[in-house]
């Protein structure tokens, strides 16, 4: 941890910073330069946990403050330089295979979810995705999950579904193989803590205004609870461009690979918001190194309950699977 004092900062200002660092438990090293005095603090992990650079940057005479020690440790690549492979049933995410999770935005009825599962399985994908809790329904309904479980089982698929609230965890644990934490809940620390205590993998989606560092901090929060099976997911950020609903930050994929050992998926459906952009961005994500894809597909997207504009038709999905296989092969992987 480093505090750089402003040019001309007075001794009382410097001393106030030193006092505060010492009070927090840091040992302080002072280095007096021609222009700037720099204070370096070293201490036990507890010191860093409560340390916020902004608190020092508003002190009198301080120019800037840098956290040197990475704010995430368990999610850091140094923790597992060889990378993490998340195992779900017989599927491995983070290994040589690019895993595809696909399905409708919402489970609508038995026939629809079964038909979705059939499409997903026929094209060779491994995991069925789908939302079982409609925001407006009772938090105690579970029918969607049961229907989805049946459909997945019938077609030999695993399944992933979103947990929107800590109270839904028991149900999800019963039915789903992976628990998805959505973009809007990426900083719902209560929920993150709860899924950190369960024994199933978590798919953690990046918030539309979250930096990559914040995504890794959210993962850290889950891992602190003991659950190391976290799969990250890039699904588009909000920028000034309006041609696509979000701007899919494809570079987040290799950046995460460099900073963390966790596998990362790309979601070109939410990443673009447009069905006609899903295929090129699915290819781009895999080319950039994504370990998995999350895509929306529906037998009849124009009549889907939600997200129709970004949902693939069965034909487009089959085409995507073929293209993704070709790209995966080109980067030395299978799909």
In the window 123-182, what residues touch a copy of itself (CB under 8 A)? 135-136, 139, 164-165, 167
Q: How far apart are CA 278 and CA 282, in angstroms?
A: 6
| Binding of a copy of itself by 299 (CB under 8 A) | no
Q: How far apart are CA 288 and CA 299, in angstroms?
A: 29
| Binding of a copy of itself by 280 (CB under 8 A) | yes
Among 117, 132, 160, 277, binds a copy of itself (CB under 8 A): 277
Would you say 118 and 138 are in contact if contact means Cβ atoms under 8 Å apart?
no
Point out which span in 89-97, 147-155, 183-191, 222-230 binds a copy of itself (CB under 8 A). 183-191
Point out which span in 98-106, 108-116, 124-132, 201-209 binds a copy of itself (CB under 8 A). 201-209
In the three-class reduction of DSSP (H, G, I as helix; E, B as strand; rest coil), residue 254 is classed as: helix
Residue found under tokens 């368990």: 74
Residue 225 phi, psi dihedral angles, 5° rounding: -80, -5
Output the smallest distance, CB 35 to a copy of itself, in A.
6
Q: How far apart are CA 127 and CA 251, in angstroms?
A: 25
Among 13, 76, 118, 318, binds a copy of itself (CB under 8 A): 76
* Beta-bridge partner residues of 39: 3, 30
Q: How far apart are CA 94 and CA 81, in angstroms?
A: 13
Residues 221-260 that bind a copy of itself (CB under 8 A): 237-245, 247-255, 258-259
Cβ-based nearer residue to a copy of itself, 13 or 187: 187
Point out which span in 58-66, 90-98, 148-156, 173-181 binds a copy of itself (CB under 8 A). 58-66
Among 189, 197, 226, 334, binds a copy of itself (CB under 8 A): 189
Output the smallest distance, CB 224 to a copy of itself, in A.
11
Q: How far apart are CA 288 and CA 324, in angstroms?
A: 12
| Binding of a copy of itself by 85 (CB under 8 A) | no
Point out which span in 85-93, 124-132, 142-150, 186-194 binds a copy of itself (CB under 8 A). 186-194
DSSP 225: T
First to last CA, the chain: 44
Is the Cα torsion angle 204, 210, 214, 218 positive or negative in sign? negative
Residues 34-53 that bind a copy of itself (CB under 8 A): 34-36, 38, 40, 42, 52
């Amino acid at each position: 941890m480093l505090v750089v004092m402003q040019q001309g900062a007075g001794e009382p200002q410097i001393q106030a910073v030193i006092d505060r660092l010492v009070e927090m438990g840091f040992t302080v090293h002072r280095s007096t330069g021609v222009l700037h005095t720099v204070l370096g603090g070293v201490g036990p992990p507890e010191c860093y946990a409560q340390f916020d650079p902004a608190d020092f940057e508003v002190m009198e005479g301080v120019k800037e403050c840098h956290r040197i020690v990475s704010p995430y440790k368990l999610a850091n690549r140094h923790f597992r330089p060889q990378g993490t492979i998340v195992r779900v049933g017989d599927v491995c995410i983070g290994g040589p295979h690019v895993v595809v999770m696909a399905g409708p935005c919402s489970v609508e009825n038995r026939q629809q979810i079964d038909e979705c599962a059939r499409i997903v399985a026929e094209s060779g994908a491994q995991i069925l995705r789908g939302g079982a809790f409609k925001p407006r329904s009772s938090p105690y309904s579970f029918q969607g999950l049961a229907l989805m479980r049946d459909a997945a089982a019938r077609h030999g698929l695993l399944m992933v579904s979103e947990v929107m609230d800590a109270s839904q965890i028991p149900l999800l644990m019963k039915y789903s193989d992976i628990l998805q934490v959505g973009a809007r809940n990426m900083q719902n620390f209560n929920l993150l803590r709860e899924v950190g205590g369960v024994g199933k993998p978590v798919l953690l989606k990046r918030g539309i205004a979250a930096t990559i560092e914040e995504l890794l901090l959210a993962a850290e929060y889950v891992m602190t609870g003991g659950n190391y099976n976290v799969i990250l997911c890039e699904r588009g950020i909000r920028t000034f461009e309006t041609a696509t609903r979000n701007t899919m930050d494809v570079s987040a994929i290799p950046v995460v690979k460099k900073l963390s050992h966790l596998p990362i998926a790309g979601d070109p459906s939410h990443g673009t918001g447009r069905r006609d952009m899903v295929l090129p961005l699915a290819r781009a994500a895999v080319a950039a190194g994504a370990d998995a894809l999350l895509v929306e597909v529906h037998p009849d997207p124009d009549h889907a309950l939600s997200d129709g504009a970004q949902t693939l038709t069965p034909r487009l999905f089959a085409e995507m699977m073929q293209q993704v296989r070709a790209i995966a092969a080109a980067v030395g992987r299978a799909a």
